[in-house]
């Protein structure tokens, strides 16, 4: 379901600029799900001819109501997607749809917000008019997901996100720089690609001016960013602003002009880009920087969490519900996190005791990070460890899975040109027909940071039975509407990845105590985020109090904790989806097992979770409830 352009920018920049155990994997999956959206074409009218009497035929049997409704809804979904791409050209670019790569509308304006509202109301009305009666299976799920996402989008309009369009994690200027430098989704392969960016850049000055105007409205309303975040924005802007075109990031496409361009095109584009950068783009950046430094910075707030904003408690609760689905309130997630942290710390102590590992938890984890016994001697040894882990997983897997995607899984090293920014491990889905394998990419650079004890949990998360099983199964659902096929619910996708890691315990794959401790410590950090994010944004904690909690409970440095906390400040509630998704899947499994007793088969449960693709957690629960009822019948 397409989100607002501002949210698309926020998520895009978050995936580029934040580094965590999961963010790079999410970015890789998004990139992999960018097939070009096909254009719907109206049928050509037939030439008029004199009518001839038609032969008498028996009237065809009417289509079943469900089938007729399903086909009607699928037509609406298809038309909706194309209309959405036209309305949101940047989102189209991120999806790999190149039709609108020359457009950059002022999506921060009040007129654009009204247009987006009217658009969503219109298409929601079309879908609701058809109604869900008689729908089953994927048709019912598509209807439920469309309605859920549309209502969430409309509910978010009451909160003035548009008044805070810039911070260090979703800096509007950074995403423009990434696109225009050739390092992002904007292609620079053909002459038309180059001309598209030149035309798109015409919208940059107006968009930046609108961002300034919106921030001024936020200053008047008391809706402003924390000073801590905005202090990081000025260096980001300084890194982009250069005195000449040739020194700027935006010169990258000219520096890398394809060799097959004609000399005339090369000369024309070089001159055009120099004017564009020096007289259009750089002035817009300087204006934005000047405003932030002289006007906005003095108006920033000294408070840290979202609850300090007007209506901030409700705003944060909305953020939490939209990213996790409304299964728990911030207070419930906070309490859940506190209990889970205690349980994980106790489990870590037990594993250390059983393995006769002496010393404190902190001392042990410091040793795991620094001891050379956990470092691979070379890239081949690291790849061999992943392949050996894959063999162990395959041997254990039949106990818990009886279905798998058609595509095989290959293990490959990350290409050298991507190594500096790629995560330790990431997944690229294969083809839905099984002809192209899925790929588990392993980053073999910076070997001292690739710890031996992290391989098993990363293989389970990114490979089998994690993203390869979940995204691989979704790839095979060729009949899904594009708003589902090209989208994805983070709580479901990453929740399944974390759940897959947890299966390593049941499958006896963490038989090395350090592998087990590595999994538990990684899970502890993700769980501490539940407490810290909600503590900061809903319980009145300040920045330092939140940092101290993370240092004391997750065994991370104060510097790393500060980066985590600033992420909670910039993207309130965003980190909650992963662990909440995992916990929800575990609760659904417990629920099914309790209801079905001896009839419960964990392999069938896993198939039911995966077979219909990604979906919000509340819709997933309703689907599992229907499955349980069918098994009891």
**pLDDT digit string (tens) for 425-464?**
999 998 888 889 999 999 999 999 999 999 999 999 999 9
Neighbours of 216 (CB within 10 A): 15
- Give me 202's structure tokens: 């015409």
The alpha carbon torsion through 609, 610, 612, 614 (nearest 10 deg) reads: 90
Neighbours of 379 (CB within 10 A): 15
SS3 content of the chain, % helix, strand, coil (to 5): 65, 5, 30
Given a cut of 50, the residues of the chain with pLDDT beneath it are 1-64
The alpha carbon torsion through 297, 295, 289, 167 (nearest 10 deg) reads: 40
Q: Rounded CA gap, 531 and 550, in Å?
A: 9
Is 211:288 a contact under the CB 8 Å cutoff? Answer: yes
Q: What are phi and psi of 410, to 5 degrees?
A: -110, 150
Identify the burial level of 394 via C-beta atoms within 10 angstroms of its C-beta, where 0-12 means exposed, 13-18 middle and 19 or more buried: exposed
Nearest to 528 by CA among 346, 330, 339, 365: 339
Is 549:531 a contact under the CB 8 Å cutoff? Answer: yes
- Give me 256's structure tokens: 């890398």
Query: In this structure, what DSSP letter does residue 56 have?
Result: P
Which residue has 């990114």 as its token pair? 462
Going by DSSP bridges, is the β-strand pair 438-442/425-428 parallel, antiparallel, or unpaired?
A: antiparallel
The counts of H helices and E strands in the chain are: 28, 3
Could you give the maximum distance between any two Cα atoms of the chain, in Å?
94
Element of type H or E holding 426 = strand 425-428
Tell me the DSSP string of 178-222: HHHHTSSSS--SSHHHHHHHHHHGGGHHHHHHHHHHHHHHHHHHT
HSE-CB at 421 with a 13 A cutoff on CA atoms is 10
CB-based contacts of 46, cutoff 8 Å, min separation 6: none
Element of type H or E holding 411 = strand 409-413
Question: What pLDDT sits at residue 142?
Answer: 97
Peptide bond into 40 cis (omega under 30): no
Question: What pLDDT sits at residue 29?
Answer: 38
Question: What pLDDT sits at residue 171?
Answer: 83
Q: Residue 224: helix, strand or coil by DSSP?
A: coil
- Please compute Rg for the chain using Cα positions: 26
Going by DSSP bridges, is the β-strand pair 425-428/409-413 parallel, antiparallel, or unpaired?
A: unpaired
């Amino acid at each position: 379901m397409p989100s607002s352009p501002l949210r698309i920018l926020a998520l895009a920049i978050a995936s580029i600029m934040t580094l965590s155990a999961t963010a790079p994997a999410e970015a890789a999956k998004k990139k992999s799900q960018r097939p070009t959206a096909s254009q719907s074409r109206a049928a050509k009218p037939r030439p008029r001819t004199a009518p001839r009497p038609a032969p008498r035929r028996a009237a065809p049997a009417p289509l079943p109501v469900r089938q007729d409704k399903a086909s009607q809804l699928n037509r609406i979904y298809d038309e909706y997607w194309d209309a959405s791409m036209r309305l949101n050209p940047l989102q189209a670019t991120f999806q790999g749809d190149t039709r609108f790569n020359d457009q950059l509308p002022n999506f921060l304006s009040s007129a654009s917000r009204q247009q987006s509202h009217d658009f969503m109301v219109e298409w929601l009305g079309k879908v609701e008019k058809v109604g869900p009666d008689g729908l089953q299976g994927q048709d019912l799920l598509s209807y439920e997901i469309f309605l859920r996402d549309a209502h969430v989008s409309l509910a978010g309009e009451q909160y003035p996100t548009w008044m805070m369009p810039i911070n260090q994690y979703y800096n509007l200027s950074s995403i423009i720089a990434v696109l225009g430098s050739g390092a992002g989704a904007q292609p620079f392969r053909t002459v038309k690609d180059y001309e598209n960016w030149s035309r798109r850049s015409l919208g940059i000055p107006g968009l930046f001016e609108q961002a300034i105007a919106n921030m001024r409205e936020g200053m008047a309303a008391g809706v402003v960013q924390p000073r801590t975040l905005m202090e990081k924005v000025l260096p980001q802007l300084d890194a982009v602003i250069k005195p000449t075109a040739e020194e700027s990031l935006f010169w990258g496409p000219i520096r890398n002009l394809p060799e097959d361009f004609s000399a005339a095109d090369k000369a024309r584009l070089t001159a055009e880009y120099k004017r564009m950068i020096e007289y259009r783009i750089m002035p817009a950046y300087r204006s934005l920087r000047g405003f932030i430094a002289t006007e906005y910075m003095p108006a920033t707030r000294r408070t840290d969490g979202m609850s300090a904003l007007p209506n901030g408690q409700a705003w944060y609760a909305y953020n939490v519900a939209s990213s996790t689905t409304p299964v728990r309130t911030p207070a419930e997630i906070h309490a859940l996190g506190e209990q889970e942290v205690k349980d994980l710390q106790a489990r870590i102590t037990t594993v250390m005791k059983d393995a006769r590992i002496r010393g404190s938890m902190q001392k042990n984890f410091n040793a795991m990070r620094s001891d050379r016994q956990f470092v691979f001697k070379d890239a081949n040894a690291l790849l061999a460890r992943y392949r050996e882990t894959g063999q162990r997983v395959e041997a254990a897997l039949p106990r818990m899975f009886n279905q798998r995607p058609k595509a095989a899984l290959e293990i490959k090293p990350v290409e050298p040109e991507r190594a500096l920014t790629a995560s330790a491990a990431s997944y690229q889905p294969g083809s839905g027909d099984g002809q192209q394998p899925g790929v588990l990419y392993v980053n073999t650079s910076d070997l001292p940071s690739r710890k031996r004890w992290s391989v098993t949990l990363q293989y389970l998360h990114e490979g089998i039975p994690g993203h390869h099983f979940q995204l691989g199964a979704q790839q095979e659902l060729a009949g899904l509407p594009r708003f589902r096929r090209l989208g994805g619910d983070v709580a479901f996708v990453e929740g399944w990845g974390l759940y897959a890691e947890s299966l390593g315990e049941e499958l006896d794959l963490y038989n090395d105590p350090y592998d087990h401790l590595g999994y538990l410590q990684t899970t502890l950090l993700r769980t501490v985020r539940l407490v810290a994010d909600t503590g900061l944004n809903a319980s009145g904690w300040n920045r330092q109090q939140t940092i101290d909690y993370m240092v004391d409970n997750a065994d991370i440095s104060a510097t790393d904790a500060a980066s985590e906390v600033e992420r909670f400040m910039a993207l309130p509630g965003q980190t909650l989806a992963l662990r909440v998704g995992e916990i929800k899947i575990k609760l659904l499994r417990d629920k099914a097992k309790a209801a079905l007793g001896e009839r419960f088969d964990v392999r069938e449960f896993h198939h039911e979770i995966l077979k219909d693709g990604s979906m919000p957690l509340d819709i997933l629960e309703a689907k599992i409830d229907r499955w349980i009822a069918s098994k009891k019948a």
